[in-house]
Structure 1
Amino acid sequence: MGKKARIEHFSRMLSFVFSVILVLVFICNIGSVSAYTYITVDYPSAINTFFQGINDSGQIVGYYDDTDSTSHGLLYDWPKGEFLRIDYSETSQTILYDINDLGQVVGIHRDGSGDSPFLFEKNGLQGLPLYQGHTTVYEGINDSGYIAGYHSYYYYSTHIHGVVCDLNKNSCQDIHYTEARHTYFHGINDLGQMIGEYQDWNGNWHGLLYNTGNQQFQPVEHDWFRATLCDINTSGQIVGWSGDNGILYDPRTGEFQTLKYPGADLTRLYGINDMGQIVGWYSNESGSHGLIVLPGTAEVPLPPSLLLLASALISFPILKKRRAQ
């Protein structure tokens, strides 16, 4: 074989090797994709079950509806598979929103006079303060005893403002974004970051992050007309919902993705812990069901056409050599 022929042969081999590498890289990239495991949990004999918050120990809080359409608070110890019913009183309905790693729970009880916030812990139940006497809802609690929520605020007309309270100091602070007509906060992580949304004066909705440390606001933009951002963990992952689907924000990509229970008419995501475990609920023809969403990866079977292509590329030099013989 002459020098020129050897160079041409070497060039063809380089092209072939490069093609094989491209195909293998493509195959490896689609061989596994991000996936989620969905787990359904129903309170025994309940008509509907709703999960709202989860701590790092896997304790989940929420509520369920009985056959009389009365709502009862629930605490589900996921590792043990045990439920605990929590009612503020026998004459009111109870909804639990969040639980921290100390087992402290925030919620509301509802009776003829309206909604009233409360705290549940080992020592029992106790009412929480109404900010300046206004209707107040606390939906998030962190391990430092800070609770986040919102309250009605009257200034010529009714507005909604955010609020954060330090249970250890028994002090609360009004939190309102200056560009907003209404400000809502639903969750708070152990870094003191609060998540929620605000409505501007044109009626448009935007996600909103507030840092209690430096007292700075940061709008969280998304592509939906309205999204409710419900919780944030210490990694900056945010869960919530928009339209009929749950949503998850990944700070590594700066993007939201849609999560939906297979076959569900409606999916809502409300809580996320520091392991990335998510809770919420979904609805279908049989009612509403508690939902746990686990992050992970799943192997995806390769299309037969790609396997055939890879096999052909690998076999090509062998067949060519046999023909030459």
Structure 2
Amino acid sequence: MEWRYRLVLVAGLVFCFLSGPAESYEYNVVNLGTIGSNGSRAYGINDNGQVVGGLRDSGGNYVGAFFWTAGTGMQELTSSGGPTRAWDINNAGQIVGVASDRPALWETRTGVPTDIGTLGGPTGTAFRISESGHIVGWADLPYNTDLASSVYHAFVYENETITDLGTLNSVNSLYDYGYSLSYDINSSGRIVGIAHTDTFALNAALWDVTGTEPVITDLGTHPDHPGSEGYASVINEKGTIVGHGYVAAEGGSYPMQWNESTGTWVPIPMLASFPYGEFYDINESDQMVGVGWDSDGTEHAVLYDTQGSAEDLNDLIPGGSGWELSFANGINEKGQIVGLGQFNGEERAFLLEPVPLPPSVSMLSLGLLAILAFGRKHVLS
């Protein structure tokens, strides 16, 4: 019996190793292309695999917004000129961004933008849209002649009404550097962003807009860097909040996740080679995507799973692909990731498609199970 057990064990191990893949990678890279001679950057993706982003000229100016599908490829969204880009798209195909330096909403069936207005000033940005169609971003307030400047505030847009979300500054004048920005919203009416405090510090902020008036909460900043600027940048439907603390003296950001039960931020560990980082999107599996960088400013797209650790996405694509992935900006519930990188030295938007489990890996698993099953039978006998 013993010799037969050893024979099956060796055969199973040989079968497992020989059936394994020659190269290990987890994503295929799709080049989303561009329009004309512009560079392209992808910022948002919905669960249907539809992608939106921006087009940049050789001077780095945003000259257009795009909408991409696997069937139609890249199409330019309509605008009347001026700074234009698309930031986000929901599953209904509603797209938000900036068109001609104004907050804009596009419908994919028309590709024509609707100006949703500002807070009385000339410019603004629509940054995120929820599945229920609520939009958040920031916009200028009316120009202040005494200060010879204007400030911008976070807003929420619903039912064709734009609402000023205010700041954490409850003491000083509205125009005393009282800035705020809203970065994300979920369907429960929770909004995350940043806002100035009474001391003009920039702290992470959480708004609740389920009542008659917005309620703002100061979330502070990174626990290990108390003097840093605090950012709450993303929130998912479960209410998971992720942000970072920006340390100006270092030119670096330290990622963090909000612990709802303790009311504190928990540091998110980054890669040793890229100690700084920021995350720009999160799905319901708590997978986060963003960027990591080092003291020299080298930037790599990163993926973080709260059940695991940060990973450089460049290590998860086929070798010799010609790509260097710089920023990962969006992730959907299928695990598809969009962002921007350099393809053979040219700036291009990318889509990462998760690689299905190959037959060889399935056979590897079956081989291991066979070994375990035989071993268990041998022990019992």
**Would you say same fold, with TM above 0.5?**
yes
| Alpha-carbon distance change, 63 to 200 in structure 1, aligned in 2, over 3 angstroms | closer
Q: 1:137 aligns with which of 181, 185, 194?
A: 181
Deviates more, 1:221-230 or 1:261-270: 261-270
| Alpha-carbon distance change, 50 to 196 in structure 1, aligned in 2, over 3 angstroms | same
Tell me what 1:217 maps to: 265
Tell me what 1:312 maps to: none
Mapped partners of 1:138, 1:198: distance in 2: 16
Tell me what 1:64 maps to: 55
Q: SS where residue 118 of structure 1 aligns?
A: strand
- The structure with the greater share of residues assigned to strand is 1
Deviates more, 1:136-145 or 1:218-227: 136-145
In the alignment, does 2:194 pair up with 1:150? yes
1:140 and 1:186 in contact (8 A); partners too? yes
Give the alignment of 1:220-235 within 5 angstroms.
Answer: 220-223=268-271, 224-235=274-285
Task: Give RMSD over aligned pairs.
Answer: 4.0
1:32 and 1:297 in contact (8 A); partners too? no
Deviates more, 1:73-82 or 1:217-226: 73-82
Deviates more, 1:236-245 or 1:17-26: 17-26
In the alignment, does 2:297 pair up with 1:240? no
2:55 and 2:66 in contact (8 A); partners too? no
Deviations 1:229-274 (A, max 9, x none): 111100111111113321112344x122211263234521011011
2:66 and 2:85 in contact (8 A); partners too? no
| Alpha-carbon distance change, 290 to 126 in structure 1, aligned in 2, over 3 angstroms | farther
Mapped partners of 2:82, 2:198: distance in 1: 27
1:118 and 1:127 in contact (8 A); partners too? no
Tell me what 1:74 maps to: 65
In the alignment, does 2:234 pair up with 1:191? no
Q: SS where residue 93 of structure 1 aligns?
A: coil
Runs of 5+ consecutive residues of structure 2 not aligned to the other structure: 102-120, 135-157, 168-173, 294-298, 362-381
Tell me what 2:86 maps to: 96
Tell me what 1:292 maps to: 351
Mapped partners of 2:61, 2:35: distance in 1: 15
| Alpha-carbon distance change, 72 to 263 in structure 1, aligned in 2, over 3 angstroms | same
Q: How many residue pairs were aligned?
A: 288
Deviates more, 1:264-273 or 1:61-70: 61-70
Mapped partners of 1:125, 1:43: distance in 2: 33
Give the alignment of 1:1-325 within 5 angstroms.
Answer: 11-28=2-19, 30=21, 33-66=24-57, 70-72=61-63, 74-81=65-72, 83-85=75-77, 87=79, 90=80, 92-103=82-93, 105-107=95-97, 116-118=124-126, 129=164, 131-132=166-167, 134-153=178-197, 155=199, 159-166=201-208, 169=211, 171=214, 173=216, 174-177=218-221, 179=223, 180=226, 181-199=228-246, 205-210=253-258, 217-223=265-271, 224-243=274-293, 244-252=299-307, 254-260=308-314, 262-284=321-343, 286-297=345-356, 299=358
TM-score (ref. length: structure 2) = 0.61
2:66 and 2:75 in contact (8 A); partners too? yes
Deviations 1:213-242 (A, max 9, x none): 985533222233201111110011111111
| Alpha-carbon distance change, 67 to 33 in structure 1, aligned in 2, over 3 angstroms | closer
TM-score (ref. length: structure 1) = 0.70
| Alpha-carbon distance change, 226 to 300 in structure 1, aligned in 2, over 3 angstroms | farther
Tell me what 1:306 maps to: none
